Structure 1
Amino acid sequence: MFKSVIFYTDQLAAMRRFYGNILELEITERAEDRFTVRIGTTDVTFVAGDRLAFYHFAINIPGNQFSMLKHWIQDRVPLNWEDGVDEVYFRAFDADSMYFEDPAGNVVELIGRRKKDVYGDITRSSFLNISEVGLVVSDVQVAGQTLFDAGLPLRGTDLEPDELNFIGSGDSYFVLVPHGRRWYFSKKDAEIHPLTVVLNGGTEFRLDAAGQISQSSTGE
């Protein structure tokens, strides 16, 4: 679902080293004020900003490589903990997750889909795509309606204004939350920071600094 994502950071150089050298992912664009890292079928661009910004996003990984990737990640960055554990199984998604933070403080989740297997060693291809993008908004109902109007379905029956709301399908979702809700497996409360997302097919969503979403088409 996610073709490309743009985040902002005040730690551009450290982020470029982290994703290129520590996680060993492909950097496809380098410029003075930005870089793009290829995460499977999704391009993630970090743009230099003048203030601290952090996000939550998740990356799909093969379910059968979850344990191997956990050891691989732990050699590079500490995992986050919640209630005495450093991983969790989500029955509703039939998936296992682990979490860590990058140099900008983004809460990054690796989701092992148990019905999606890739055989062989850990490589860049083990990072399949962006699975979730957190949308921290000023009004969950209004933002949700914008996503619904673009044809994205809600996982569940009703929007929950104070909780996580998964909007999308398959293994790709926007995670719609209000400002101030704590991100799972972290000590961070969700904050509103601008971002841009382009879906496969060309629909573009922009979240502004006020926590409002706008939608347009890139013409693809």
Structure 2
Amino acid sequence: MKITELKIYSPSIGQQQEFYSEVLGLKMLDRSVHKVSFQIGNSILRLEYKKDATPYHFAINIPANKDQDALLWLKSKVEILKDGTDEIIDFKAWNAKAIYFYDQDKNIVELIARKNLKNHSDQYFGADQFLEISEIGVATNDIESEYKTLRDVMDIGVYDGGFGNFCAIGDEYGLFICINKNRKKWYPTQDKAYGSD
């Protein structure tokens, strides 16, 4: 599954514009008082103003061999969200390594190097190595219902997990990360998971 465009809401468009364009160095596609959008590899991230917007979680694929380079690059720009002392999280079951950080709205942003994709790069790491948005978190009361809704509109299957607490739906290019918001919080911060708009 490809996530060509992701729209999320933000209470602070100006701060987010500065973060994504100046701190991360992403190409801004358009900007108005109430919205801004950025190119993230093959995907577009759109942020639209909403006064009471709550935080999201989303992930961006990076080349399979660039987790260490991405960490060094990020550490000069943002605070890394750790699991204990681990700055790079090794998801052995997914053959992937991930790094987490907050943007200006406390959205949990993840850079993930998926070894199965064999998309190695010999280029210096920077924002141009962001390949695509590959995950969006969906906090819900009923994971199975969310899955059935998704399956009804697209050819999609369960990648990992089940319908109790956590279910990843899709494939390594695009996943809906569904969690039961009454039983689980966002990893690695344990931030509250809010229902998505």
TM range (shorter): over 0.9
Relative to 1, partners in 2 of residues 1:179 and 1:134: Cα closer, same or farther, differing over 3 Å? same
Q: CA–CA distance in 1 between the matches of 2:113 and 2:139?
A: 24
Deviation string 1:44-82 (CA, Å, 9 cap, x unpaired) is: 100000114110000000122221111110000000011
Name the counterpart of 1:89.
90
- Find the counterpart in structure 1 of residue 30 from structure 2: 29
Q: Deviations over 1:20-50 (max 9, x none)?
A: 0000000101111000011100001000001
Distance 1:159 1:177 in 2: 10
Q: Residue 84 of structure 1: CA displacement? A: 2.4
| 1:138 to partner: Cα distance | 2.9
Q: Who is 2:196 aligned against?
A: 193
**CA shift for structure 1 position 119:** 1.5
Unaligned runs of 5+ in 2: none
Contact 2:135 2:175 in 1 (8 A): yes
Q: Deviations over 1:188-207 (max 9, x none)?
A: 0211130xxxxxxxxxxxxx
CA distance in 2, matches of 1:62, 1:17: 25
Q: Superposition pairs for residues 27-106 of structure 1, below 5 Å?
A: 27-106=28-107
- Range moving further from structure 2, 185-194 or 32-41: 185-194
Tell me the matched-pair count: 192
Match of 2:180 in 1: 178
User: Match for 1:138 among 136, 141, 147?
Assistant: 141
Q: Using the TM superposition, give the Cα deviation of residue 137 of structure 1 relative to its aligned residue in structure 2, in angstroms.
A: 1.8
The CA distance in 2 between the partners of 1:135 and 1:117, in whole Å, is 29
C-alpha separation in 2, matches of 1:93 and 1:140: 20
| Aligned residue in 1 for 2:171 | 169
Contact 1:144 1:159 in 2 (8 A): no
Question: Which of 112, 122, 125 matches 2:125?
Answer: 122
What letter matches 1:152 in structure 2? I
Unaligned runs of 5+ in 1: 195-220
Provide the rounded CA distance (Å) in 1 between the counterparts of 2:94 and 2:146.
24
| CA distance in structure 2 between the aligned counterparts of 1:187 and 1:89, rounded to whole angstroms | 18
RMSD: 1.4
Q: Secondary structure at the match of 2:151?
A: helix
CA shift at 1:142, angstroms?
1.0
User: Which amino acid letter does the alignment assign opposite residue 194 of structure 2?
Assistant: E
Equivalence for 1:148: 151
Runs (4+) off by over 3 Å: none
Moved more, 68-77 or 132-141: 132-141
- Give the Å deviation of 1:140: 1.4
- TM-score normalized with structure 1 length: 0.83
